[in-house]
Structure 1
């Protein structure tokens, strides 16, 4: 513990020396819906925390709904006295915030690794899965890919407007994959990439996607699952900030336009042993088949994680590469679980179902739980799409059905924690019901 505090203290002191104009640091963590919450600390107080002073935040901040409200979930929030819970600083994440008007810093905090971790905190859920795999001699290597849209900064009666082409000044309203779009939006995209690198994120390829103003960012393969999910979470925060600085809005909303493709979160996962051997490639790739079978078996029960809100379900079965059945295939982007062409060393799965606004910690935890279950059960998967285009298993396409499917799944309760499953499902159920409580203009047009 002393050595750990010394490392953190050195990190804070180095930051203060390199950024003497920064007076405050945002200490942030991801809640269940995937939003950052936290506190803004004077940098001198942060040094005390790094030296060992307690860092406490309300436990129930993790339970916030999509709009920030608290729901009654068991005894949490209203019958538990709203207790504080210890958090710790995540080493290596103290970085400058360059997209705000005033000098600022930010640093991730978490309850995992504390004396009493919060069972339903997303990062803690993933940490437990990774720890269990490590005890089995399984070491995941992970790479996220995130799609997002750029919109005009100004909304039109609450509705998004196409981003303006910086060269022509016209709306970028044509769907295409042209490389020229990267050039036209180079200023904002370059700033996003550089800001991400300044945050310590290993970003690689930038692609212009099919939707108007839609782009994709790829991250490097990382042998630390927590860090890989940290990168995805932090990229969303910095990208929104940089976009506003350039006169745009950036959004990871799953389906902002019905007529154009939605935005997904694709996750590449390979599994290695302590000697660096790819476990999925052993025995003529039989473990790969078992892992795929486990992923597909649990997939219908993980839909509230992969599609975490009403809008995310709109993306499924959309215009491009968004399945409505649990499926797999080799080099097939219509499959939920794609096996990219690779040599045995780099053999991996690409899980393509999650929406871009899903919680990256929980998405990765659910995928790894499926892989682990498959390796344990050793079942054969259904036929790949390459052999049968109709192959696939149904999964829920509506939130309340998805919650029911998740809540009572015994393997998922075991792998992710029964308390987490209960809390998460009730949070999603309450969020969905709250969303339905507002009468939209369309209802008046149809039924008045």
Structure 2
């Protein structure tokens, strides 16, 4: 603890020296729906926290719904006195924020690694899974890919408008993969990329996607699963901020346009032993097949994680590479679990089902649990799509069905934690019911 305090203190002091104009630092963490919550600290108080002073926030902040409200979940929120819970600073995450009007810093905080971690905090859920795998001699290497849309900054009657081409001033309403779109939107994309790098995020490839104003950013492969998920979470925050600064609106919403492709979160995962050998490639790739089988078995029960809201379910079975059943295949983007072509050293799965607005900590935790389950049970997977285009198993396509499938799944309750599963499922159920409380204009038009 003393060593960590000295490291954190050196990090804060170095930040203050390099950024003397920064007076405040946002201390932030991701809640269950994938939104950041936290507090804005004077930078001099941050030094005290780094030196060992307590850092406490309400425990139930993790339980906020998609719109920020609290739901009654067991004894939480309304029968527990809304207690504080200890958090800690995440080393290496104190960075400047360049999209605000005033100089600012930000730093991740978490409850994992504290004396009493919050069992349902997303980062803690992932931390437990990674710790268990490490004890088994399994070391994941992870890379996220995130798709998002750029819109015009101004909404029209609450609806998104196509982003304007900076050169012509016309709406970017032609869906295509043309690389010229990267050039036309280079100012905002370059700013997003540089800002991400300033946050310590290893971004690599930028792609113009098929949807109008849609782009994809790839991250480097990382041998620290928590850091990889941190990068995905922080990128969403910085990208939205940069877009507003540049006169746009950026969103990771799963399906903003019914007629155009949705935005996904693709996760590449490979598994290594302590000597650096790829575990999936051993014995003629038999462990790969077992891992795929485990992923596909648990996938239908993880749908509230992969599709965390009503809109995310709209993305499934839509246009372009959006799976309708739990499936796998070699070099097949129609599959939920794709095996990219690679040499044995880099053999990996690409999990393609999650929506871009899913919680990256929970998505990675669910994928790793699927891989772990498969390696333990050693079952053969169903036929890949390369052999049978009709191969696949059904998964729930509505939230309440998905919640029921998740809540009673024994493997998930054991490996993600029964308390987390119960809290998460009730949060999703209540969010969905709250969403249904508003009568849509279509209902009046159809039934009045």
In the alignment, the residues of structure 2 paired with residue 222 and residue 162 of structure 1 have an alpha-carbon distance, to the nearest angstrom, of: 34
SS at match of 2:26: strand
How far has the Cα of 1:440 moved from its partner?
1.2
Determine the C-alpha separation between the residues in 2 that align with 1:135 and 1:85: 27
Deviation at residue 441 of structure 1 after TM alignment: 1.0
Q: Deviations over 1:165-215 (max 9, x none)?
A: 001000000000000000000000000000000000000000000000000
TM-fit CA distance, 1:254: 0.1
**How many residue pairs align between the two structures?**
448
Q: 2: distance between equivalents of 1:186 and 1:126?
A: 35
Deviations for 1:117-174, whole angstroms, at most 9, x for unmatched residues? 0000000000000000000000000000000000000000000000000010000000
Paired with 1:76 and 1:355, the residues of 2 have a C-alpha distance of 28
1:7 CA displacement: 0.1
| 1-structure distance, mates of 2:193, 2:184 | 15
Q: CA separation in 2, counterparts of 1:248 and 1:104? A: 21
Kindly provide the CA deviation profile for residues 220-278 of structure 1, in whole angstroms up to 9, marking residues without a partner as x.
00000000000000000000000000100000000000000000000000000000000
Distance of 1:439 and 1:330 partners within structure 2: 44
Question: Secondary structure in 1 aligned to 2:284?
Answer: helix
* 1:58 CA drift (Å): 0.1
Superposed, 1:2-401 pairs within 5 Å as 2-401=2-401
Residues 294-346 of structure 1 show CA distances to partners (whole Å, capped at 9, x for unaligned) of: 00000000000000000000000010100110000000000000000000000
Structure 1 residue 442 displacement after superposition:
1.0
2: distance between equivalents of 1:171 and 1:274?
52
SS in structure 1 of the partner of residue 237 of structure 2: helix
Over the aligned positions, Cα root-mean-square deviation in angstroms equals 0.2
SS state of the match for residue 326, structure 1? coil
User: How far does residue 374 in structure 1 lie from its aligned partner after superposition?
Assistant: 0.1
Separation in 1, partners of 2:66, 2:149:
20
Partners of 1:58 and 1:419 in 2: CA distance: 18
CA distance in 1, matches of 2:190, 2:392: 40
CA distance in 1, matches of 2:236, 2:198: 14
| Structure 1 ranges of 4+ moved more than 2 A | none
- Larger deviation, residues 438-447 vs 208-217: 438-447
3-state SS of the aligned residue for 1:392? coil
Could you tell me the TM-score, scaled by structure 2's length? 1.00
Question: For 1:402, what is the secondary structure of its paired residue?
Answer: helix
CA distance in structure 1 between the partners assigned to 2:215 and 2:415 by the alignment? 34
Structure 1: distance between partners of 2:176 and 2:33 = 31
Superposed CA deviations along residues 362-410 of structure 1, whole A, max 9, x for unmatched, are 0000000000000000000000000000000000000000000000000
Instruction: Give the distance between the partners of 1:252 and 1:342, measured in 2 at CA.
Output: 29
3-state SS in 1 of match to 2:267: strand
Distance of 2:394 and 2:237 partners within structure 1:
34
1:38 deviates by: 0.1
Q: CA deviation at 1:348?
A: 0.0
> How far does the alpha carbon of each residue in 1:277-304 deviate from its partner, in whole angstroms, 9 at most, with x for none?
0000000000000000000000000000
Structure 1 distance, partners of 2:169, 2:59, is 47
Equivalent residue of 2:317, what SS?
Answer: coil
Alpha-carbon distance in 2 for matches of 1:357, 1:318 = 17
Separation of aligned partners in 1, 2:382 and 2:340: 18
Q: Unpaired segments of 5 or more residues in structure 2?
A: none
- Aligned mates of 1:91, 1:323 — CA distance in 2: 38
Kindly state the Cα deviation for residue 219 of structure 1 after the two structures are TM-superposed. 0.1
1:347, distance to aligned residue in structure 2 (A): 0.0
Report deviation, 1:447: 0.8
TM-score (norm 1): 1.00
- The separation in 1 between residues aligned to 2:19 and 2:179, in whole angstroms, is 37
Q: What is the distance in 2 between the residues matched to 1:47 and 1:446?
A: 60
User: What secondary structure sits across from 2:442 in the alignment?
Assistant: helix
